[in-house]
């Protein structure tokens, strides 16, 4: 039994190392751009359980991550994504980020979770802009964000970062305190075609490629209001459950 547990721990450490090494290597940031655009559309389409519109509008920036968690007894997680910030002219281009780590407890199989970190203060944006690693709860305060209409009246944020997640179709606020998020300079270099730094990207000094427009459009897209006939990004159906196809008149 002891040997089996030790093997599981060693396996988890090796898996965690592999996850972290994978996130440290350069990847195609455009894939994260497209994933992030879809994540934002989903969170905006569910005002009752997603990010409140007031929280989104008052934000100074966003960090988005798609994280895979897998293992047995000892679990490993790794994720990739991006961070964007508001500028005087709209939203900045994306700066690549990654995360990874180990956990203990019952974890069998794999799970994919989408995270949105709402950056509520200029200091939160600066933590990502200066490069290197950002530890939530240490470098900047972080807390599970408010959800639904009950949070619409909130004015002063109680943490520099609000965290939200979606896993297996469920939305909500989730604490990520202790999570380490690192910049991914190699990925930024490949995406922008030259040496760039997060500070210039998030200040809007670096113009993103034209293909990034899909993310900018999702960020600027209005929230879907209650009773809207806009099709759901999740199901392709109108809110009343119909496909949204007009009657044929038969």
- Between 30 and 247, residue with greater pLDDT: 30
Report the pLDDT value the prediction gives residue 147, as an integer from 0 to 100.
Answer: 82
Beta bridge partners of 142: 161
pTM score, whole prediction? 0.77
Beta bridge partners of 162: 118, 143
pLDDT digits (tens, 9 = 90+) for 196-234: 999 999 999 999 999 999 999 999 998 876 554 444 444
| pLDDT value at 48 more than 70 | no
Of 201, 223, 222, nearest to 212 by C-alpha is 201
CA dist 211 and 28 (Å) reads 12
**Mean pLDDT in the chain?**
78
Per domain, the residue ranges of the chain are 2-220
- Between 247 and 100, residue with greater pLDDT: 100
Which run of H or of E encompasses 15? helix 2-24
pLDDT band at 24 (very low <50, low <70, confident <90, very high): low
Q: Which residues of 73-85 are buried (b: 16+ CB within 10 A; e: fewer)?
A: bbbbbbbbbbbbb
Q: Give 46's contacts (C-beta < 8 A, 6+ positions apart).
A: 171
Report the pLDDT value the prediction gives residue 5, as an integer from 0 to 100.
Answer: 38
């Amino acid at each position: 039994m002891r040997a089996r547990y030790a093997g599981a721990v060693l396996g988890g450490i090796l898996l965690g190392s592999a996850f972290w090494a994978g996130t440290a290597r350069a990847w195609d940031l455009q894939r994260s751009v497209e994933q992030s655009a879809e994540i934002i559309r989903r969170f905006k389409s569910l005002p009752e359980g997603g990010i409140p519109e007031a929280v989104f509008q008052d934000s100074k920036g966003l960090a988005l991550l798609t994280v895979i968690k897998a293992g047995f007894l000892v679990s490993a997680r790794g994720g990739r994504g991006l961070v964007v910030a508001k500028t005087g002219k709209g939203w900045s281009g994306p700066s690549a980020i990654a995360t990874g780590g180990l956990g203990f407890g019952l974890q069998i199989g794999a799970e994919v979770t989408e995270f949105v970190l709402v950056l509520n203060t200029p200091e939160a944006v600066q933590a990502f802009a200066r490069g290197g690693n950002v530890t939530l709860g240490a470098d900047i305060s972080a807390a599970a964000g408010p959800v639904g209409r009950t949070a619409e009246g909130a004015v002063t944020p109680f943490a520099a970062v609000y965290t939200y997640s979606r896993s297996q179709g469920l939305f909500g606020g989730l604490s990520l305190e202790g999570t380490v998020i690192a910049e991914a300079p190699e990925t930024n270099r490949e995406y922008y075609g030259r040496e760039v730094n997060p500070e210039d990207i998030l200040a809007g000094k670096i113009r993103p490629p034209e293909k990034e427009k899909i993310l900018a459009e999702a960020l600027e897209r209005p929230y879907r209001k209650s009773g809207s006939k806009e099709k759901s990004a999740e199901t392709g159906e109108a809110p009343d459950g119909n496909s949204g196809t007009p009657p044929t008149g038969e």
